Amino acid sequence: MEFNTPEKPQWCPGCGDYGIHTALKQALHEVGAHPKDTVIVSGIGCGSKIPNYVRSYGLEGLHGRVIPTSVGIKIANPELTVIGIGGDGDGFSEGGNHFIHGARENFDIVYIVQDNHIYGLTTGQASPTTPKGMKTKTTPDGNMINEFRPVPMALVAGATFVATAFAGDIMHLKEVIKEAIAHKGFAFIDVYQPCVTWNKLNTYDWYRERVYKTTHDPSDWNQAWEKAWEPYVTDFEKIPLGVIYKKEREIADDFFSPGRKNLVKEPLDPNGIDVSFLAKEFL
């Protein structure tokens, strides 16, 4: 496949990131994306190594900064398919401000979170989505802190596409990614990703017993809101998968870049630009 790389990812055997990696490449292939017009943007974490394993353009940037980096690329060149991808620590802790404002401003990017409820690469500390009670290196007596709730948060902040998926169901995840790529606006996918090394609670089996494909109307805010809360009100007995909410509205890209041109393609005169027409107010 055109997105394959010679190197194989080196995640722990059984890591959920493999499924996400496969689904992402397959989704890009199926929507007909070309490597030249695809940019995979990540932060830092186990899953954030993913741009190394997709043969396209990519930017493996800083921990927590997936969204602003993606936004800069997409505004400069709106013809690109820009996929931001990073972990839960990256996106919800370090990058929490960008998550809120990215959703609010409705930038035209896809944002996938590899949500394993733990810090993997830094060897097993509690993350914002670590369940209450779970023992980790930084919560040796069990986590006492409420978990961060990405899906309700995305809805409240104003995301126009909010979905959940499971790294253990590649076919479904792939379809959700395809739908996110087709969406105009901030498309957020919270992907439940088992970390076989550090998270012994949220395993593949744990998820399989709880997840189900939702069939509600994602354009209905009230139904979306109910689904967003379902895992929390059922004490994680029922976890809906699929598009939770979807409704297009104006995107920030149009506001910050009037006319939304491909700024890379706009020619630059090597002699410089005569800016006197911009300086009349100073004469």
- Give the interface with another protein as residue ranges (CB under 8 A): 2, 4-7, 35-41, 44, 49, 51-52, 55-62, 64-65, 67-77, 79-80, 97-98, 100-101, 256-259, 261-266, 268-279, 282-283
105 lies in the site for ligand SF4, by CB under 6 A = no
Contacted entry of another protein, ligand SF4, none for residue 144, CB cut-off 5 to 8 Å set by kind: none
DSSP string, 137-199: TTBTT---SPPP-HHHHHHHHT-SEEEEEETT-HHHHHHHHHHHHHSSS-EEEEEE---TTT-
Among 75, 109, 191, 195, binds ligand SF4 (CB under 6 A): 195
CB 117, min distance to ligand SF4, A: 10
Q: Inter-axis angle of helices 96-105 and 150-157, to 10 degrees? A: 40
97 binds, among ligand SF4, another protein, none (CB under 5 to 8 A by kind): another protein
When asked if residue 20 is in the footprint of ligand SF4 (CB under 6 A), the reply is no
Output the CA torsion sign for 3, 4, 10, 14: positive
CB of 151 closer than 8 Å to CB of 178: no
Residue 197 C-beta: closest distance to ligand SF4, Å = 4
Smallest distance, Å, CB 208 to ligand SF4?
A: 17
Residue 83 in the binding site for ligand SF4 (CB under 6 A): no
Binding flags for ligand SF4, 41-70, as an x/- string (CB under 6 A): -----x------------------------
Decide if 113 contacts 189 (C-beta within 8 A).
Answer: yes
Give the containing element (helix H, strand E) for 239. strand 239-246
Closest by alpha carbon to 112, among 16, 158, 180, 205?
180
188 binds ligand SF4 (CB under 6 A): no
